[in-house]
């Protein structure tokens, strides 16, 4: 696992190239796309660890967004064509509007986005001259603060659930204020319990220093949990044997998703206990790295 600080100007896919070269494998994937104009934290899974990607994809995220009011673009970012112009709201009006976007919302992703519409990416349809309006979906905003106001720009701090588009949030805030806007700059500062200050730039990546053991994902991300297994039971898990409550002294483990680790750091399997019954989600023969 790698914590990568993606610079603006690269796609999320392009930002992985240095890791692929250093590790000598193409089995590398990020767990949440950042637009090309955006920068910040990508959690990257490598090798067998890519099978844990869905665990990181579900984590909440923090952003700093510079929203430029009075100018709307077709992509809702600085790379698009200007398609609308409007007024610049006052600070008081903006501050009054922000609390209306806290909590559970329904949000339509941008026309230029990676969501699928009829089996195609929305941005592919838009660039082929057939823009669509993706269906609304539920998102959650837990923080929306005005950090600075330098008209026409507002810097907003956003904490949100998986699947939230900050570009759409800026569009909807502007619409509430009777104008238009786009996100001029965007930086992801947190994913779950991981912060961008812990991340490495793509051109500075060194495997010996910058590869994280997957154990840290289970340590930092409740409700994920860990089980310690000895060599004998690690071999049984690798062979497809399901764990049982009898393996563990004391009270039986509670229901949930567990990483089974041998010798404290080798991830052997991802297992789940539900209603007292165990099942295996993934086996990492030879370890996850």
Residue ranges of domains in the chain: 2-59+193-210, 61-191, 215-283
Beta bridge partners of 225: 258
- What fold is seen in the domain 2-59+193-210? Pseudouridine synthase (3.30.2350)
| Catalytic residue list | 35
Quick one: tokens of 235? 């071999």
Superfamily of domain 61-191: Pseudouridine synthase (3.30.2350.10)
Q: Supply the pTM of this predicted model.
A: 0.91
Q: Please list, in sequence order, all residues whose beta carbon lies within 8 angstroms of the beta carbon of residue 122, skipping any fewer than 6 positions away.
A: 109, 110, 111, 112, 113, 114, 115, 116, 132, 134
Q: Are 2-59+193-210 and 215-283 the same fold in CATH?
A: no
**Which class for 56: exposed (0-12), middle (13-18), buried (19 or more C-beta within 10 A)?**
buried
Per-residue confidence in pLDDT tens, the chain, 289 aa: 999 999 999 999 999 999 999 999 999 999 989 999 999 999 999 998 999 999 999 999 999 999 999 999 999 999 999 999 999 999 999 999 999 999 999 999 988 766 766 666 766 666 766 666 777 999 999 999 999 999 999 999 999 999 999 999 999 999 999 999 999 999 999 999 999 999 999 999 999 999 999 999 999 998 899 999 999 999 999 998 999 998 888 888 899 999 999 988 899 999 999 999 999 999 986 544 4
Rounded to a whole number of angstroms, the CA Rg of the chain reads 22
Sign of the C-alpha dihedral, residues 237, 241, 247, 248?
Answer: positive
CATH of domain 215-283: 2.30.130.10
**CA dihedral defined by 65, 182, 69, 139, rounded to 10 degrees?**
-60
What is the model's pLDDT at position 118?
66
Residue 108 CA, distance from chain mean position: 18
What SS3 class is residue 82? strand
d(CA 145, CA 99): 9
What is the model's pLDDT at position 16?
96
What is the model's pLDDT at position 193?
95
What is the model's pLDDT at position 248?
84
What is the model's pLDDT at position 135?
79
Quick one: tokens of 254? 């509670």
> What φ, ψ does residue 141 adopt, rounded to 5°?
-110, 120
At CA 116, angle to CA 73 and CA 59, rounded to 5? Answer: 85
């Amino acid at each position: 696992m790698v914590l990568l600080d993606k610079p603006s100007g690269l796609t999320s896919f392009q930002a992985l190239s240095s890791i692929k070269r250093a590790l000598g494998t193409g089995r590398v994937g990020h767990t949440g796309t950042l637009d090309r104009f955006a920068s910040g934290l990508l959690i990257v899974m490598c090798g067998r660890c890519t099978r844990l990607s869905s665990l990181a994809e579900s984590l909440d995220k923090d952003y700093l967004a510079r929203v430029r009011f009075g100018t709307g673009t077709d992509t809702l970012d600085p790379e698009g064509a200007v398609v609308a112009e409007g007024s610049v709201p006052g600070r008081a009006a903006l501050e009054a509007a922000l609390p209306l976007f806290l909590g559970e919302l329904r949000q339509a992703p941008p026309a230029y986005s990676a969501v699928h519409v009829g089996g195609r990416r929305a941005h592919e349809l838009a660039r082929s001259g057939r823009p669509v309006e993706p269906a609304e979906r539920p998102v959650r905003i837990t923080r929306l603060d005005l950090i600075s106001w330098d008209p026409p720009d507002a810097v907003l701090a956003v904490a949100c659930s998986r699947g939230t588009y900050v570009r759409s949030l800026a569009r909807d805030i502007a619409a509430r204020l009777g104008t238009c806007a786009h996100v001029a700059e965007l930086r992801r500062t947190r994913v779950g319990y991981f912060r961008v200050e812990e991340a490495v730039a793509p051109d500075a990546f060194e495997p010996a220093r910058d590869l994280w053991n997957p154990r840290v994902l289970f340590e930092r991300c409740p409700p994920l949990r860990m089980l310690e297994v000895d060599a004998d039971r690690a071999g049984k898990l690798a062979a497809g044997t399901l764990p049982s409550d009898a393996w563990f002294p004391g009270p039986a483990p509670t229901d949930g998703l567990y990483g089974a680790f041998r010798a404290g750091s080798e991830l052997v399997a991802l297992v789940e206990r539900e209603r007292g019954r165990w099942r295996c989600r993934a086996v990492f023969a030879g370890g996850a790295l």
